[in-house]
Amino acid sequence: MGSERLPDAEVSVLLVGDGAMRTLNRRYRGKDRTTDVLSFPLREGKFPGVQHHLLGDIVISVPTAARQARAAGDTLLEEIDRLLVHGFLHLLGYDHERGGAEARRMEARERRLRGTLKR
Q: Where are the domains of the chain?
A: 2-117
Question: Which architecture, in CATH terms, is 2-117?
Answer: 3-Layer(aba) Sandwich (3.40)
| pTM of the predicted protein model | 0.81
pLDDT over 90 (residue 118): no
- CA–CA distance from 23 to each of 16, 78, 115 (Å)? 11, 25, 33
Calculate what percentage of the chain has a pLDDT beyond 90: 52
Residue-wise pLDDT tens digits, 60-82: 999 999 999 999 999 999 999 99
Residue-wise pLDDT tens digits, 10-31: 899 999 999 999 999 999 999 9
Q: What is the mean pLDDT of residues 21-45?
A: 91
Phi and psi torsions of 7, nearest 5°: -65, 145
Residue type present at position 10? E
